[in-house]
Amino acid sequence: MPVEADIAQELIDAILDFLHDDRQSLLHSSLVTRKWVPATRHHIFERIVINHFFAGHRCRGHRDNAHRFLAICDSPHCTILPSVRNVLVNVDTKISPVGPVPALLADIIDALGRAPIVKILFVDHTSRQGSPIALSWIGPRFRDLQELSYNSLEDVVCDLFALVSSFPNLRILSVYSSSKASHTASIAQGLNSPAPHTFAHLHTLRLRLYSHQSEELLSWLQSIGKQAGLETLDLNFFHAYHNGWGAIAVLNSFLHVNGDHLRNLTVRVTYEDSDDEIDETVRLEKPSEGNLDLSGLTNLRSLRLASHNVEAICTALQSLPAQKQTLEAFQVDFMAWIYYLDAPCACHSSIHAPRSLISLASAGRRRSGSIFHGGRTRRCCAWISQK
């Protein structure tokens, strides 16, 4: 039967949709007949990666394709842009002589502005030796953006709040820092910080920052009051001290305001090996800046806490509301204390782990959870009694 036989296009599209994650088969299918091109192109170019690195860059192992992408987009016969919805922009942000906007990056953003982009993952390569770049100028190109993930390898953009504020339809916001070199950076812009939108559609917020940086961003978001749609909050704090969770006051306030609709919460401490000259006694004995208060989370379904400080975990679990408890699953990760050889602590996770379980409050419900310790996972299911 010839390929051009009378087969409904809807049936062809349905068949090709099964190949959505098989790139090689999609490429072969796109060469069969013109009728198959639209459906295969939709899957092939829905998610793209744009890389560019300057000579000697540590990421030179990645495929450098930025100029090829621009050449395709400049062609009058270019038809791929209507299919592009998700893009990873992994471009070395070398400062141009005329201002804080890298010329190559500007060309890439202009080209992507012609596509129906709903998700951007941006990797910022700005080094501590250079000046932070500005990115808020990209906002008008992507008014319908639903997911933004910003990952700083060293320095943070100078207008992060303005960048986030330029996307009022965000559903998912992720802000990550990948280097201990960024711990001295402030992500706030002081009195020039723009007022955030209501972010009525925002349902997931993920932060991987030093605690003072997370505090700045949460404080800015809280300036507009309750985030009515926020259901998932995933926080990873870099911390240099044994006790507590770092700067916690703003987080507690944020949880209190948004606690009646927050369903999934992760609070994790990562002990970063920084270059700061901190006395080991101070690193071990510095008092906590406060306890994590979960008493306002009346609609919580899943909870994950990760720290080496067992006392901080137990205190947080004990603060869960007793009268209205909806928790269905929890996970406790006992993190490694990387300074143990120089500043040994008295935490014994295997002794304190049962205490973490029985300190949860509930109305006699059975709840499943996990305790991670020493590279092994112990699955447990415990009856949790009233406080």
Least confident residue range of 17-21, 71-75, 244-248, 355-359: 355-359
186-242 confidence digits (pLDDT tens): 666 544 556 666 788 899 999 998 888 888 888 888 887 666 688 999 999 888 888
More confident residue, 106 or 129: 106
Q: Which residue has the higher pLDDT, 182 or 44?
A: 44
The predicted structure's pLDDT at residue 190: 46
Determine the pLDDT at residue 324.
63
User: pLDDT value at position 327?
Assistant: 83
Confidence of residue 370 (pLDDT cuts 50, 70, 90): low
Does the structure show a pLDDT above 50 at 375?
Answer: no
How large is the angle between the packed helices 37-44 and 23-30, nearest 10 degrees? Answer: 150
Instruction: Please check whether residue 166 is in contact with residue 148, taking contact to mean a CB–CB distance below 8 angstroms.
Output: no
**What's the pLDDT at 189?**
54
Comparing 7 with 111, the larger pLDDT belongs to 111
Q: What whole-number distance in Å separates Cα of residue 35 and Cα of residue 180?
A: 52
If one compares 232 and 359, the residue with the highest pLDDT of the two is: 232
pLDDT for 42-91, tens place per residue? 888 899 999 987 555 555 556 788 999 999 999 998 889 999 999 999 98
- Average pLDDT of the chain to the nearest whole number: 78
Instruction: Please tell me the pTM assigned to this model.
Output: 0.82
Least confident of 40-49, 97-106, 171-180, 259-268: 97-106
**Taking Cα atoms as reference points, which of 262, 261, 257, 260 lies closest to residue 235?**
262
C-alpha torsion sign, points 266, 272, 278, 282: positive
Distance CA(155)–CA(123), nearest Å, equals: 11
Query: Using an 8 Å Cβ cutoff, are 248 and 211 in contact?
Result: yes
**Per-residue model confidence (pLDDT) at position 385:** 30
